[in-house]
A = this chain, B = another copy of it.
Amino acid sequence: MSTFIFGHTTPDSDSIIGAISLSYLKNQLGEDTTPTRQGEINPETEFILDKFGFSKPELKTSYAGESVYLIDFMESSQSPKDINEATILGIVDHHKLGDLKTDAPLEMWVRPVGCSNTIVKQMFDYYDIEIPKNLAGIMACAILSDTVIFKSPTCTKEDTKACKELAELAEIEDYKALGMEMFIVKSNVLNATKEELVLRDFKDFNMGNSKIGVGQLEVVDLSVFDNMKNELFGAMKKLKEEGKRDSILLLLTDIMQEGSQLLVLSDTPEKIESAFNITLKDNQIWLPRVISRKKQIIPFLEKQF
C-alpha cells in the first residue's frame, strides 16, 4: 500500500512541489509513496509545473487508515479532517511546532529556513541521491516563491545555496528573472473571484481558543488591488462568519516595495492593533518591510491570543 505525501490545505507551490520532490526521494530510497494535494493548485504552481513538464498530484482529502508523510505544515487546522485516523510516518517542515500528535515515533526534518524544498534538497544531499534536471527546476522555483526571490526575512543562506545549486542542475541561466516571471503570473488577480483571492494562500491557526485565518497575496504592483478593496472585505466577512473565525487578516504584499497592506476583520481588533503596535484606519494599514506571514505576522498574533 502506497504512502501518501501531501502539503497543507489551500496548497502553495512549496506544498505541491514538496510532495512531488519528497515522494521522488522516498521512492529512490525504496519506499512506495505517492504525492497528493488537499486542494486546487494556484496559477503560480500551474505555471511552474507546466514549465518543467510535471502533472499536478492527485487530489485527495481523506486519509483515514493510510500512512502519510506531511510536508510544509504541522498544524491540525491545515490538515485533512481525518488526520487523527492516519499514521503520520514523518514530517518535513519549516514552520513552528504545531498541535499535531502521533502515537508512535516518527521522522521529522524541520529547519528554520525559508522553504520546505530547501530541506528536501538537504535530504537528497544527505542520502546522496541525484536530483533529475526537471525536478531540480521545480524545486528551485518553490524556493524562489517561498523566499520572495530571497527578499523575505525568512530566507537563509541555506535557501540561497540550495536554490543556486538546484538552478544549476536545472540549467536555469537567470533564476532571478524566472522568479520575477513567476511573480508576474502570481500578480494576475483579475480572473478570480474575490473569495478565491482571499483563499488563494490562506492558513487557519488555532490560537488559544480563537480561530484566526490569515491570507496573503504577493504581487509585483499593489495598484492591482486599488479598485477591489471593498469586494475583498466582503469576501473576508463571508469567510469570517462561515468559518466562525475570530479574525481574518489579508496581507496584500508588494514584493517590489517590500511591504504589505494589511486588511483586518476581527471581533477583537484591539488585539491585532496591540500585536503590531498599530492603529487601523478603515480596517487597514500599510506595514513597511513586512512580507513574511510566518515570521512577521503569526508569532506576534500568537502572543496576543
Interfacial residues, chain A to chain B (CB-CB below 8 A): 74, 88, 91, 94-113, 126, 154, 294-295, 298-299, 302-303
Contact = CB atoms under 8 A, between A and B. Distances in A.
A242 B8 CA distance: 43
A100 B100 CA distance: 10
Copies of this polypeptide in the complex: 2
Given A97-B108, A126-B126, A103 B303 contact: yes
A76 to B, nearest CB: 11
B106 A109 contact: no
Contacts of A96: 101-106
Contacts of A126: 126
Contact of A97 (B94, B100, B109): B100
A103 to B, nearest CB: 5
5 contacts: A96-B106, A97-B102, A99-B99, A104-B299, A109-B109
A101 B99 contact: yes
B105 A112 contact: yes
Contacts of A88: 97
Contacts of A104: 96, 112, 295, 299
A268 B298 CA distance: 41
B103 A107 contact: no
B105 A95 contact: yes
A147 to B, nearest CB: 13
Contacts of A97: 74, 88, 91, 100-102, 106, 108
A100 B99 CA distance: 8
Nearest to A126: B126
Most buried by B among A74, A99, A101, A302: A101
Given A88-B97, A101-B96, A126-B126, A108 B109 contact: yes
B99 A94 contact: no
Contacts of A108: 97, 108-111
